Amino acid sequence: MKKVALSLLAAILIAASCVKEDYFGKSGLNEILYFTITQQAGNTIIDQDSLIIRIPVAPSANLAQLSADSISLSSYASISPGVGDVQDFSQPVTYTVTAENGSAADYTVIVTRGSSTPQLDNGSLDEWYTPSGKNYQEPGKDDNTIWATGNAGVVTLTTPNVSPTVVSGTDRASEMVTKDLGALGQLTGQRMAAGTTFTGKFILDIANPLNSTKFGVPFTGSPKSFTVSYTYAPGSPYRDGRGNILSKEDSCDIYLLLENRDNNQVKRLATGWFRSGTTVASYTDITIPLTYGALPAGTPAYQFPANGLFGSVADPVTHITFVAASSAYGATYEGGTNTRLVINNVRMNY
């Protein structure tokens, strides 16, 4: 029986090697899926119907000397101009995307100077959409949103743990719940799944789940503090990733980081961090001041950058990371069962 199976496998491999590369036809997809430029100051808006891309940049940016620093395309497609090619964005610039089969699409990129006191797009968290082919919602109008959650990973084992909740009328907020993933999660040391809402992207990496989260989006403001409305209810029992019940109380994390990202080096410019395990039954505003530069002695270790790098006053802000998590130690798969954090109306104070 084994010989038959091996013979069959060999036949399949031989047949596959004889199939022409374009046997099933070459791809005709030619879309820009993601596009950012240097000194970007807010969210990229891509209109696939009109093929127009709109991008805000820092008020001080030289529009005539900017370039794309990150582009994502349809599979097998190419683009011209490319990443790093300096363009004059004082007027609309055309980017041509060519599909594998040669068909082309011309996108028009329109760049405008943003505000010197920018806010996070959809900081109210009123807008939510359903990603294509999914059964859960994410904050934002569409896939171009600056917001993300860990729902794509959690739904492989259970229902989503981040969802919109109605505050009143059309006012919505983001509800995050720490879920016990049971025996299946416990097998890989990932039994507890904290709910998270953050700026960035979540691209599921099953081999290394912690690598799925890509924090941070372009931003150029320098706020003095940030304010958020929230409620919190810690749950129990408190377990670690292996399912062990620990003698700990849960707490939430809400923090904001300003960064300078240049040549693949990330330097922390400002830190604002709130961690608390106190139950808050009704919506309460908290304002967290931002500390610019190195953190003072006595600051909890968890607030320091993993790479230890702080920037100087000469470094411009290029990115912002905002994170809210129902369990502060969710990154190590710890938390209280059914811990619940709700946030609403994230805003910068200048």
Q: What is the tens place of the pLDDT at every residue in 112-145? A: 998 889 999 999 999 999 999 999 999 999 988 9
In the predicted model, what is the mean pLDDT of residues 273-292?
98
CA 154 from chain centre, in angstroms, equals: 15
Is the residue at 16 inside a domain? no
Is the residue at 123 inside a domain? no
CATH number at residue 44: 2.60.40.2340
Is the residue at 158 inside a domain? yes
Q: What percent of the chain has pLDDT over 90?
A: 81
Q: What percent of the chain has pLDDT over 70?
A: 91
Residues 187 and 314 in one domain: yes
pLDDT of residue 22: 53
Is pLDDT above 90 for 7? no
What Rg, from alpha-carbon coordinates, does the chain have?
A: 23
Distance in angstroms (rounded) separating the CA atoms of residues 135 and 261: 34
Reported as a pLDDT band with limits 50, 70 and 90, residue 212 is: confident
In the predicted model, what is the mean pLDDT of residues 138-161?
94
Is the residue at 212 inside a domain? yes
Residues 207 and 329 in one domain: yes
pLDDT of residue 210: 62
Quick: pLDDT tens for 87-121: 999 999 999 999 999 999 999 999 999 888 999 99
Is pLDDT above 60 for 287? yes
Residues 314 and 267 in one domain: yes
pLDDT of residue 208: 67
Residues 107 and 212 in one domain: no
Element spanning 26, H or E: none
Residues 6+ apart with CB under 8 A from 185: 157, 191, 192, 193, 241, 333
Residues 141 and 109 in one domain: no
In the predicted model, what is the mean pLDDT of residues 207-223?
83
Residues 91 and 154 in one domain: no
Is the residue at 8 inside a domain? no
Residues 293 and 329 in one domain: yes
Is the residue at 210 inside a domain? yes
Q: Average model confidence (pLDDT) for the chain?
A: 91
Range in 113-122, 210-219, 261-270 with the lowest mean pLDDT = 210-219
Is the residue at 140 inside a domain? yes
Distance in angstroms (rounded) separating the CA atoms of residues 196 and 152: 12
Residues 109 and 155 in one domain: no
Range in 31-45, 94-108, 204-218, 308-322 with the lowest mean pLDDT = 204-218
Is pLDDT above 60 for 10? no
The answer to whether residues 349 and 287 touch, using CB atoms and an 8 Å cutoff, is: yes
Give how far Cα 174 sits from Cα of 21, 27, 141, 181, Å.
Answer: 46, 38, 14, 21
Is pLDDT above 90 for 160? yes
Quick: pLDDT tens for 13-38: 333 344 444 556 899 999 999 999 99
In the chain, DSSP finds a helix count (H) and a strand count (E) of 3, 27
Residues 98 and 193 in one domain: no
Domain end point (choices 60, 82, 113):
113
Residues 143 and 78 in one domain: no
Is the residue at 329 inside a domain? yes
Residues 98 and 136 in one domain: no
Other beta carbons within 10 Å of 255: 20
pLDDT of residue 8: 35
In the predicted model, what is the mean pLDDT of residues 273-298?
98
Domain hosting 101: range is 32-113
Into how many domains does the chain fold? 2
